[in-house]
Structure 1
Amino acid sequence: MTFDLHRDLEERFLRYVQVDTESDADSTSVPSTERQLDLLRMLEVELQQLGAEDVQLTDYATLLATIPATAGGGEAPTIAFMAHVDTTEAFPGLGVKPRVHRSWDGTPITFPKDEALVLSSERSPDLKTKIGQDVVTASGDTLLGADDKAGVAIVMSMARSLLEKSGTEHGRVRLCFTPDEEIGRGVDHLTPGDLDARWAYTLDGGNTGEISSETFSANMAVVTFRGVSVHPGTAYHDLVNACTLAAKFHAALPEHARTPETTKDREGFIHLYEMAGNAAEAELRYILRDFDNDRLAEHGKVLSLLAETMQAAHPRAGIRCDIKAQYRNMGQWLQEDMTPVEIARQAMRDTGLEPVDEPIRGGTDGSRLTEKGVPTPNLFTGMHDVHGPLEWVTIQDMALSVRTCLRIAELWTEA
């Protein structure tokens, strides 16, 4: 490698996380927020400066580029490496002030913007294996944005290494940076033809060595309640309060089962993530998740049956449950050909890591891209405790991810 990888990763990552790129689920524009274009345009310029070919920021806010094959890799299939630029709207992402805890000594990490906040190995067990590494956190009042700017920095440092001809033989490599992954729209407009790769890898995973060939299957449910609005002073035997109906509906669901806080591993859930309304009309929004499509359908039936039961008990009200498909477990397609997964596993072993197969209790851009016909497993970035103020990553783990990606590109020339 012709440059200091750790220094390059750190410089990129610290710069990228300071660009506010929150997505917005309530927006109908593409991208959902203009601020995502700030980072996409920055990356566009950097790729051009590195010498990438076919650099294109599409009208659907996806940045694409090509790294040509080396002389010895011309027969290898085209592969793509992907990351998303947006961060979640679940916690503030504006004004990120990253802090590097150099050669971390194992003592609890505190935050200047929130003195009550403490990151320790008791709170985050994986942290105990990172003593001596450079741990990066935010300052306590924002998330860090490692999800997925760690992935963005990894792909960019990998691209620099390949473009500076560091000795890695590889086939044609495509780079792809998407918006709006956090709100499930990252590849809404990306076609396999635009990506122009036989296989792809998302850099959107957690601890070192993790590789994911399975995700949740996902639906969304919207339950609406239409009441009868009457002045409360004259409402006797007349008012039908939509908010009360919504509260009764959610209270009727199993309290200690099928919720995120009571499920783990391969268990699915029903999650109420948003509620709004007044006496006249109220709405509950749920996400439904499971690794098995039949069990996912059962979660929907629970809500639909409860809506029907409550409608029968309250004939003057209007109660409706609408369920919309979001994405499906990419494992149902990847299991037909596990070659990209096997190559990633071998690359990790060659890098000195033991691969860990970790089904994702969530989704990635790869979920829907796999469904569209481009098998796309997910690789580790080193990010931990994402979507909150305790989010952290180490520069050393990100470097291991870059080396894994470089080895993947090399192994495809031998496949």
Structure 2
Amino acid sequence: MQHIIDRFISYVTVDTESDPNSDTTPSTAKQWDLANQLVEELKAIGMEEVTIDANAYIMATLPSNVEHDVPTIGFISHFDTTPDFTGANIKPQIVENYDGKDIILNKEQNIVLSPGYFKDLLQYKGQTLITTDGTTLLGADDKAGITEIVTAMEYLINNPEIKHGKIRIGFTPDEEIGRGAHKFDVEKFAADWAYTMDGSQIGELEYENFNAAGAKLTFSGKSVHPGYAKGKMINSMLLANKFISKLPKHETPQETKGYEGFFHVTGINGSIEETKVELIIRDHDRKKFEKRKKTVEKIAAKINKKFAKQFGGPIVSCEIKDSYYNMREKVEPVIHIVEVAEKAMKELGIKPIIKPIRGGTDGCQLSYMGLPCPNIFAGGHNFHGKYEYVPVESMQKAIEVIVKIAELTAAKK
């Protein structure tokens, strides 16, 4: 397991935070640091056709070692980390033989990873955990996935007696800001199907995700001296507050689960004369998703109608853009690719947890680009924050799942 730990740490200690405000690909120059490192490592372990394009998309091939025809499969992960929490100067901590008690991440700042709050910790008692030091995220999302794919390919190269077909691997930038698949060359990748190694706890297997959209609303106002404001001032911040109050109050991330969708206000910034509100809209059901977008538009329209005469025109503008759609529509016609992964887990003694993703992965966009792409666990927990951790044993199991999928795909019918 030390090999896995060393590889993972060599990845997470490279800062690859992406930037949603950048218009380049990758969105930050520092993503090239790990991208170039990965290219050299793939060559060193013996992968073939190792390429990196002008946008830092990496692809490589493990040739088939069987004579009969076998589908070409792929495994994909992303190397950027979320801008939600800093990924600079990550100092991983190794907790061996976890005792099931509180883990002190940072004594000085009294930051504790506790099973009293994060109950999932208890299922890893006796295992080796990698945690943060309480001041950064860890980057298991998705450097655990990269670790697993590289290690699985290395294992197959070193053990040629394990039969497999042609395997393609791909590593992408900017997944965390929703652009990971935007410039992915599906035709060049040339796989019949693929799997993203980007899930959380051991056993997760997902082929459903949210339909997703982002909304940006700009509220205008009129600034007048408060002493003479009667009937004249329009405070755009209060209009924004009125809009937010009209959203269904129980349909938020903190009050929904499973297939339940939500509205989530992610940002608000304003003054009397102008306030901008950003929110995301999510739902697994396409009809409900479209209805949610209409709800936002209707609330904005009512505010415009109410203030049209006083303001002299529309007082709020609303822009809604779709981000991605539920991959289920594209994966169900080829459901055998999910069944292969499920069988692989069962043969390894892993209980498959098949459930919808309350989010999205590169795979959902890739599925609509012609590459059906379910999602498999990478092992990490508490992504995007200082309480992130990953059990090394879960990474080991993910490596075994990749190898087993390759075996099952190559087996003669």
The TM tier, using the shorter chain, reads over 0.9
Alignment of structure 1 residues 360-399 onto 2, 5 Å: 360-399=357-396
**1:355 maps to which residue?**
352
Deviations along 1:296-355, one digit per CA (max 9) or x if unpaired, are 111111111100001111111521222111111101111111111000011101111121
**Contact 2:106–2:112 (CA under 8 A) maintained in structure 1:** no
Equivalent residue in structure 2 for 1:296, among 286, 289, 313: 289
Equivalent residue in structure 2 for 1:217, among 208, 211, 221: 211
Matched, 1:183 2:180: no
> Which blocks of at least 5 consecutive residues in structure 1 are unaligned?
1-5
TM-score between both structures, scaled by the size of structure 2: 0.96
Quickly say closer, same or farther: Cα 1:144–1:313, change in 2 above 3 A: same
Letter in 2 for 1:308: A
Alignment of structure 1 residues 13-412 onto 2, 5 Å: 13-72=8-67, 74-112=68-106, 115-232=109-226, 234-255=228-249, 257-315=250-308, 316=311, 318-412=315-409
Query: How far 1:235 sits from its partner (Å)?
Result: 4.0
Query: How far 1:278 sits from its partner (Å)?
Result: 2.1
Query: How far 1:283 sits from its partner (Å)?
Result: 1.1
Alignment of structure 1 residues 6-17 onto 2, 5 Å: 6-17=1-12
**Contact 1:133–1:395 (CA under 8 A) maintained in structure 2:** yes
Query: How far 1:231 sits from its partner (Å)?
Result: 4.9
CA distance in 2 between counterparts of 1:214 and 1:227 reads 42
Quickly say closer, same or farther: Cα 1:76–1:126, change in 2 above 3 A: same
Query: How far 1:234 sits from its partner (Å)?
Result: 5.0
Letter in 1 for 2:127: Q
> SS at 2:316's partner residue?
strand
CA distance in 1 between counterparts of 2:185 and 2:227 reads 58
Aligned residue pairs total 408
TM-score between both structures, scaled by the size of structure 1: 0.95
> SS at 1:322's partner residue?
strand
Letter in 1 for 2:221: G
> SS at 2:110's partner residue?
strand
**Contact 1:382–1:398 (CA under 8 A) maintained in structure 2:** yes
Letter in 2 for 1:39: L
Identity %: 39
> Which blocks of at least 5 consecutive residues in structure 2 are unaligned?
none
> SS at 1:150's partner residue?
helix
CA distance in 2 between counterparts of 1:113 and 1:68 reads 49
Query: How far 1:166 sits from its partner (Å)?
Result: 4.5
Moved more, 236-245 or 343-352: 236-245
> SS at 1:412's partner residue?
helix
**1:3 maps to which residue?**
none
RMSD over aligned CA atoms reads: 1.4
Deviations along 1:61-106, one digit per CA (max 9) or x if unpaired, are 211111111134x511111101000111111111110000011122
Moved more, 226-235 or 126-135: 226-235
